[in-house]
Structure formats: structure tokens, C-alpha cells
């Protein structure tokens, strides 16, 4: 049973602006949109995945929450979702451009996952980098 003092402290915490809207089922990540082909400014967004959730889930949540992040993908019959476009910029086979998926670990190491957005499971505080690049 909560005392009235404890109850009002709990209520106050809930109402405080900026109080983290996070629970133990949410893993915070950031998504950086960068362009290694042209000089488009970088964009950074914050979102989260649920416990063991896939990157695509976090991308959908970010798109639906309205900070201006948009993306498209096509379904590959063997490997699942292939990211084709981010924030209105699409990869192009004739220009040999595509959206590369990179991940920066908390320690700063950057690696290139060997799976796509439908299989990659981000860990806490990872920076996901969507890099418009050439192949």
C-alpha cells in the first residue's frame, strides 16, 4: 500500500516534462542518415527497439512518430526487406547507389552487419547508420 506522500511523488515523476518515457522493454538507439555520395546534411533521430526487436520495427516506430523520417523497402524472396529509399532519396542500380547499413557500437567501433533491416537486432545505445553509398 502506497502512502499519500509516495503516491504524489510517483504522480509528479509521471507528469514531469522530460521524464524518460522508457520502460525496461525499450532499448534506446539512434539512427543517423548520412550520404557518402553527395553533400546532403546528416540527420540524427532517436528511437527504440523492444526487447530483441528488429531494426525495421524501430524504423517504423520512428516514421510513425513524426520527426520527418521516411523510408521504403522491397521484399526480397530470399533475404527479406531490402531498404530502397530513405527520406525520399532512393538507391539506383544504374548509378550503382544503395543504402548501406552500418552500426557504431558504444565503444566507437563501426561494423557492417551481414544481415539487413529485417534481421538486425540492435543492442542498447548502438548508433545505426544508414549510409547512402556506391557499390
Is there binding between residue 122 and ligand B12 (CB under 6 A)? Answer: no
- By CB under 6 A, name the one of 42, 76, 95, 110 that touches ligand B12: 76
At 95 the three-state DSSP class reads: coil
Site map 36..75 versus ligand B12, x via CB under 6 A: ----------------------------------------
| DSSP labels, 62-90 | HHHH-SS--EEEEEETTTEEEEEEETTEE
Instruction: Provide the β-strand partners of residue 127.
Output: 30, 104
Q: Which is nearer to ligand B12, 3 or 78 (CB)?
A: 78
Contact present, 133 and 100 (Cβ < 8 Å): yes
Other CB atoms within 10 Å distance of the CB of residue 37: 15
Q: Strand 71-76 to strand 89-90: parallel, antiparallel, or no bridges (unpaired)? A: unpaired
Report the nearest approach of ligand B12 to the CB of residue 78 (Å). 6
Judged by CB under 6 A, the stretch of 8-16, 32-40, 46-54, 80-88 that binds ligand B12 is 80-88
Q: Is 100 in the site for ligand B12 (CB under 6 A)?
A: yes
Q: Which of 33, 59, 62, 83 binds ligand B12 (CB under 6 A)?
A: 83
In angstroms, what is the minimal distance from the CB of 88 to ligand B12? 15
Sequence-ordered list of residues with C-beta below 8 angstroms from that of 130, at least 6 positions apart, any chain: 31, 32, 33, 34, 71, 83, 86, 99, 100, 101, 102
Give the binding site for ligand B12 (CB under 6 A). 76, 78-83, 93, 98-101, 112-117, 119, 135
Amino acid at each position: 500500500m502506497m502512502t499519500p506522500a509516495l503516491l504524489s511523488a510517483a504522480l509528479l515523476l509521471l507528469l514531469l516534462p522530460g521524464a524518460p518515457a522508457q520502460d525496461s522493454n525499450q532499448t534506446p538507439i539512434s539512427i543517423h542518415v548520412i550520404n557518402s555520395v553527395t553533400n546532403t546534411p546528416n540527420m540524427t533521430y532517436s528511437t527504440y527497439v523492444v526487447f530483441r526487436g528488429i531494426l525495421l520495427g524501430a524504423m517504423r516506430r520512428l516514421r510513425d512518430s513524426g520527426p520527418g523520417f521516411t523510408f521504403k523497402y522491397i521484399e526480397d524472396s530470399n533475404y527479406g526487406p531490402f531498404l530502397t529509399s530513405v527520406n525520399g532519396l532512393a538507391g539506383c542500380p544504374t548509378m550503382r547507389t544503395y543504402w548501406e547499413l552500418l552500426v557504431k557500437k558504444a565503444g566507437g567501433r563501426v561494423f557492417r552487419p551481414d544481415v539487413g533491416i529485417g534481421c538486425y537486432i540492435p543492442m542498447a545505445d548502438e548508433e545505426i547508420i544508414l549510409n547512402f553509398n556506391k557499390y
